[in-house]
Amino acid sequence: MKTADFDFDLPEDRIALRPADPRDSARLLVVRDGALDDRIIRDLPDFLQPGDALVFNDTRVIPARLSGVRQRSGPEGEPLVVDVEATLHHRDAPDVWSAFMKPGKRIKPGDRIRFARGTDAACDLGRLDATVQAKGEDGLVALTFDLSGPALDDAIRDVGVMPLPPYIAAKRPEDDRDRSDYQTVFAEHDGSVAAPTAGLHFTPALLDAIRAKGVSTHAVTLHVGAGTFLPVKADDLADHRMHSEWGEVSGETAAALNAVHARGGASSAWAPLPCACWKARRPRTAKSVPSTAIRPSSSRRAIASAPSTF
What's the pLDDT at 130? 97
What are the per-10-residue average pLDDT scores of the chain (310 residues)? 89 89 94 94 94 92 95 81 93 94 92 82 70 89 97 95 87 90 93 88 96 94 84 86 84 89 66 33 42 69 50
Whole-number pLDDT of residue 83: 95
Phi and psi (nearest 5°) for 291? -80, 175
Q: Give pTM, 2 decimals.
A: 0.80
Q: Is the peptide bond before 19 cis (omega within 30 degrees of 0)?
A: no
Residue 131: its H or E element: strand 127-135
pLDDT at 266: 60
Q: What is the pLDDT of residue 149?
A: 96
At the top level of CATH, which class does the domain 65-159 belong to? mainly beta
Cα dist. 131→146, 148, 163 in Å? 8, 13, 22
d(CA 275, CA 283): 7
Write down the pLDDT at residue 72. 85
| 262: phi then psi, degrees, rounded to nearest 5 | -65, -35
Domain ranges in the chain are 20-61+179-302, 65-159
pLDDT of residue 185: 94
Class of domain 20-61+179-302: alpha beta
